[in-house]
Amino acid sequence: MSALPTPLGSNRLLIRKFQQSDREPFTQFLINPEVTRYLSFPETFKIVEEKATHSFVGWCGVNSLNEQAIEISYTIMPEYWSRSITTEIAQTLSSYLFEQMDIKTVKVFIMPGHEVSKRVVVKVSFQDMGLLENPNFVEKIHQYALISTPRSSRATR
């Protein structure tokens, strides 16, 4: 199924893409226990926890783009920034997808100007595919890709 066209509306409602101005009300929405009581998260949404302390670090997820490619995403709490946590998440997810799921390409989409995220994926050997149109974003977005190497060459590394 393709993405919903936006905007989409009824007599009273407008269904549209997420905007930066939605961040604060969306955050309030998510921390409201009445709202989240019955909220479920997709199986592809995973919590990242620090093993030593069992502390909540952030979340990560995967999104199938097609049979050969998967998008990974992740976000961590500010107190974990500058500790190579996102690099570790990207490496862990990519390795698993290549070795266990036989995925050929792992992609990451990064907003223009988010230089820290760009540095993270470059550390993991993702290649910048340039600024591209993406139906999930208002503006063009950087697409980074990591292409799997054949199993035989992975075994000899």
Whether 65 is covered by a domain: the verdict is yes
pTM value is 0.79
* Residue type at position 24: E
> Is 74 inside any structural domain?
yes
Q: What is the residue range of 138's domain?
A: 44-155
Domains: count for the chain: 1
Note the pLDDT tens digit of each residue in 12-43: 878 887 888 999 998 998 898 888 887 777 77
Let me know if residue 4 belongs to a domain. no
Tens-place pLDDT, residues 99-157: 999 899 999 999 999 999 999 999 999 999 999 998 878 789 999 999 998 754 444 44
Q: What CATH number is associated with residue 118?
A: 3.40.630.30
Let me know if residue 14 belongs to a domain. no
Q: Is residue 148 part of a domain?
A: yes
Domain presence at residue 29: no
